[in-house]
Amino acid sequence: MKKRIPIVLKENGDRAYAEALAVHLKTQLSEEADVLSPSAEGEMQIEADECVSSSAEGVRSVTNTQVTGISKSPVWLSVDADGLSLTDGDQAMRGDFTKLQKRLQYHNLTHELLVKATKVKGRENLRVIDATAGMGEDSLLLAAAGCEVTLFEQDPVIAALLQDTMRRALEEAALHEIVMRMQLVEGDSIDHLRRLGEAATGSDAPEDDAGHDCSTLTASAATGNDAAAATSDADEALKRPDVIYLDPMFPERQKSGLVKKKFQLIHYLEAPAENEEALMQAAIAAHPFKIVVKRPAKGPQLAGLKPSYSLDGKAIRYDCYVFPENA
């Protein structure tokens, strides 16, 4: 069962967007004035067993607890002038593709291991399915390399964060064309990969397939009031992919405490993958030419399957599975 993450609308946030998102996520929406309401003594009203810390601006933030006005939750979504973020009151996580612009430059992009791993000899403008989109940074690299990328994210909160990131990136001249090659689908990629396989073999998908519940979220839709609304059935947007990219979440082992904290926010929403075998088998069933899997450098092979070859980096590697019969 998905966790319901409450939403806090800041004073300068987009109310229409916040209200639409609350409906889509079926969660509570509170205004900052209600959540951070001072008492006569100037103290914050909180339901807490944790401390309250003061910021430089004199505004206090609640850490690891939830304030009066919204149900208890260790994390919540915040809508402000800069868009959508996930926070625990201590720090916030907000996607920002502009920070990747240096990596997107041609002379740097060609050295990216992921771009090398995804290449298919003799083919350009590859159709790629990123079956585990997360915050979309890997898909951005692939789109910058000329791929048409369909991103699947099954967690609705992470999908909303990614959609907002894409919306803001569309407003950047240097990123607009790249992000236009990215299409976000909120839903379980396993169901859709299986449906692609059934279509390829001519078999019929079950009528009650849960995959029908997936919805396509366009970044441009986030600029209007229907930011969180489903706009079309995902199957209509999908064609047989050249490459399927899998990056199932694995425990973060970086030494930085800040990085660990940010990954904890994501891990609260979505635990490390437990259905790796089903994910891999669904990807194979979709009949791509290649499957690329991101793994820790010393981590096990996904579902125990030996790759055709691997590209190794310092912290990660890309296992590549090639299926020439699907060419």
Query: What is the rounded CA–CA span in Å between residue 40 and residue 227?
Result: 38
- Mean predicted confidence (pLDDT) in 36-48: 35
Percent of the chain residues past pLDDT 90, beyond the cut:
60
Question: What are the boundaries of each domain within the chain?
Answer: 7-93, 97-326
Query: Taking a C-beta distance cutoff of 8 angstroms, is the pair 129, 48 a contact?
Result: no
Model confidence band, residue 232 (pLDDT cutoffs 50, 70, 90): very low
Q: Is 102 exposed, middle or buried (CB count within 10 Å of its CB: 0-12, 13-18, 19+)? A: exposed
Query: What is the rounded CA–CA span in Å between residue 56 and residue 53?
Result: 10
Model confidence band, residue 97 (pLDDT cutoffs 50, 70, 90): very high
Is a pLDDT exceeding 50 seen at residue 46? no
- Mean predicted confidence (pLDDT) in 311-319: 96
Query: What is the rounded CA–CA span in Å between residue 123 and residue 142?
Result: 14
Please report where in the chains the tokens 């609308």 appear, as a residue.
9
Give the length of the chain: 327
Whole-Å CA distances, 104 to 72, 123, 148: 40, 20, 16
Q: Is 316 exposed, middle or buried (CB count within 10 Å of its CB: 0-12, 13-18, 19+)? A: middle
The architecture (CATH level 2) of 97-326 comes to 3-Layer(aba) Sandwich (3.40)
Q: List the structure tokens of 95.
A: 């996607």
Please state the φ and ψ torsions of residue 169, each to the nearest 5 degrees: -65, -35
Query: What is the rounded CA–CA span in Å between residue 238 and residue 196?
Result: 8
Is a pLDDT exceeding 70 seen at residue 126? yes
Is a pLDDT exceeding 50 seen at residue 57? no
pLDDT at residue 240 in the model:
86
Q: Which residue has the higher pLDDT, 80 or 275?
A: 80
Model confidence band, residue 213 (pLDDT cutoffs 50, 70, 90): low
- For residue range 166-205, list pLDDT tens digits in order: 999 999 999 999 999 999 999 999 999 999 988 877 765 4
Model confidence band, residue 125 (pLDDT cutoffs 50, 70, 90): very high
Mean pLDDT of the chain: 79
- For residue range 9-26, list pLDDT tens digits in order: 999 999 999 999 999 999
Q: List the structure tokens of 119.
A: 């290449």
